[in-house]
Structure formats: structure tokens, C-alpha cells
Structure 1
């Protein structure tokens, strides 16, 4: 499956450049067994070969992430969680537990889960469903999805770009990388909140 996905993605990007990378990531959002940890480094590799620029890869994959997330958002909003559980249970290669993890993340972290959830495996796609069920404001959902996706996509595309033909290395260390990224973002947010509270206390 790894080889089939990579061959399909490379062919798509070679034919239509950044748009192809965006389509591949939109499909990845809707069909989680296609891993972004494969698609995104391949986009960087394609950029290194001249099929697109790095900026085009980041922009189009972020657009693709938002489009895929919006489909799941509206599914959650229109179909409802219980019926979606039944639908997912009948789908091949898709686990109900993945959707449940997204729901649990949203229940624990609220709207910010949409931002941080874009950098957590399995949760990344599923987080859009409970956001739709909860009728999270569309503007905030799109903003948080775009920001979280842009950070995640940029890291993997740049890694694939600089590694070139050795882009598979990114996929091997993706599990470690995603937690490093998440810890760094949580640290930055914590520092921002701390500095604001400290400044307010002084005033």
C-alpha cells in the first residue's frame, strides 16, 4: 500500500504540481489509511525535482487540508455522530476507534483541539467531525484548521525537500517528530499566556 500510495501521489504531483499535492492531502483527510507522513515528504521531493515550488506545495496542501476537513465538518453537522459511527464501522480500513479519539480530543480541549489536533496522528482527520456536531463557528474552524495544517505541512514538506530521494526517512521518524512539534507549540502557547498574565499582574 505504501508503494501504491507513493506512486499515485508522485504521478499526480508530476502532472499538475501543487494542485496535485492539494488533492492528495484532501483525499488523505477523507481516507485516513493514506498517511500524510507519506504524501507531504513526497510533495517536498517533488518540489526538489522542480514539479512545483516549496511555497506552492505548502499553500496547496493547506488548501487541501481545509477542503477535506470541511467535508468531514459538514458530515458531522448534517449526519450526526451516532449515524457516522455506524457508517464508519462498515468502511474497510477505517477504525471506529480513530473517530472516537477525535471526539475525546474535542471533548477535552474544546475548539483549540482543532488546531492542535491537526498535528496528532489519527486525530488529525477525525477532529473535524465532533467540531461539526458541536456546530463550532465555521470561521474559527477554518482558521484553526488552516493554521495547524500549515505548520504540520510545512515541516514535512521542507524535510522532504532537503532530504530529496531519501524522503522515506521522514516517514520513519514521523511519530517522534509530531510530538516534538506539538510540545514546541504547547510551550510557545504556554509562554505567551504566562507573559500576558505576568504583564497584567505588573500593571
Structure 2
């Protein structure tokens, strides 16, 4: 019952930490820490679907966390530059190659729309605030597009979580098949993680 156990642990964590905990996790997600929003927001949706959390407070707290994390990354780039980011990133499992890919993405598509679009792209959304800061992008458009992109993305994942919760009895009925899928996903993710760090030069440029 792997899927059921994972959901129980995630919900227990959110029960304990509340809106602040969800906001903190999303702040980490918007920085360079390996905390994917796809692993946080659906369970926030569970809380809303169960009637434990208010929908608007859930969206507001997680979006505020995303903005705070993005702003901290922006300031790291703005005031510290790339050398400081690389030094500090060692403590947050920063992948330098991913950062370089994000820099290329940002410089090829300079403009406020780049920040907005990046919120929907895996890997890129974790790093995009740093080159925006290094490039001295004006703060107001940066915050505006970050707010819109983060709110839309977080809300989408939250709603997915709510819909998933509604279908949970069906998922439990087929939990064995779901467990196999979860194990396969974990193994695939671990394999990709190892491969991406051993062969960075073979990954395609954005």
C-alpha cells in the first residue's frame, strides 16, 4: 500500500505544519532546493477536499511562499552574482548544469514573458529567478509575472489534488497497480537523477 502510505505521511505533515508549512515548502520549490511542487500541491488539494483547509487560504499561502522563494533567489543573483549562487547552492544540492541551461533559456528569451512561461517548465522554474537577478531585471515586472505564473500553476496542481481525492476510493481499489506505478516512477526518477549528474554534457540545450 505504498500510495496510501505516502498520502498519509504527506497529509500528516500538512496537518501538523498547516498553511505555513505548505508555504515554506513552496518557497523552497521556487528556490534551488529539490522540492517539486508536484509533490506538495496535490496533497494541499487533499486538505481542501477533506474540508480541513480553506481553498483561498491554501492558494494564497502557497503562492506567497512561491513568491518569497523566487524573490530570495532573485536577490541572490542580483546582489551576489553567479559565484555566490554556486557557493550557496552547494548546501541546497544545486545542479550547476541545470543553472547554466536556465541562464541560456533566459538570455535567449529576455523579457517579462520569460518569467511567466518558465513557471510551467520543469527544472527551469526552480532556477529562473537567479538569472533574472543577475541580469538586473526590474523588480516590479519580475514580481508581477512571478505572482501570475506561480498562482496559476499552484492552483492547477491543487485542483488536480482535489479531483484525485474524490477518486481515492477507486485508487485504493487498484492500489496494487498504483504501487507498481509509484515504484517504477521512483526508480525512473532516481535513474534520471544519477544520469543527469554523471553525464551533464550529453543533455540537450534549451
TM-score bucket (shorter structure): 0.7 to 0.9
> 2 CA distance for matches of 1:3 and 1:79?
43
Query: TM-score, normalized by length of structure 2?
Result: 0.71
State the match for 2:64 in structure 1: 63
- Structure number with greater CO (CA < 8 Å, separation at least 6) is 2
1:9–1:24 CA contact under 8 A, matched in 2? no
Alignment match, 1:198 = none
For 1:96, the equivalent position in structure 2 comes to 96
1:123-175 per-residue CA deviation (whole Å, 9 max, x = no partner) reads: 10200001111111111111000000111111100000111145xx9x97xxx
Cα distance in structure 2, aligned partners of 1:122 and 1:94: 11
The runs of 5 or more residues in structure 1 that have no matched partner are: 173-203
CA distance in 1, matches of 2:140, 2:133: 12
Distance 1:6 1:32 in 2: 22
Count of residues in Structure 1 that have an aligned counterpart in Structure 2: 167
1:6 & 1:77 partners in 2: Cα distance? 38
User: How large is the Cα RMSD of the aligned pairs?
Assistant: 2.7
CA drift of 1:20 comes to 2.4
Describe the shift of the 1:5–1:127 C-alpha distance in structure 2 as closer, same or farther (beyond 3 A).
farther
Aligned equivalents of 1:65, 1:84: Cα separation in 2: 19
CA change 1:3–1:136 in 2 (3 A) is farther
Structure 1 residues 9 and 131: CA distance shift in structure 2, 3 A: farther
Matched, 1:80 2:81: yes
8 Å Cα contact 2:67-2:147 kept in structure 1:
yes
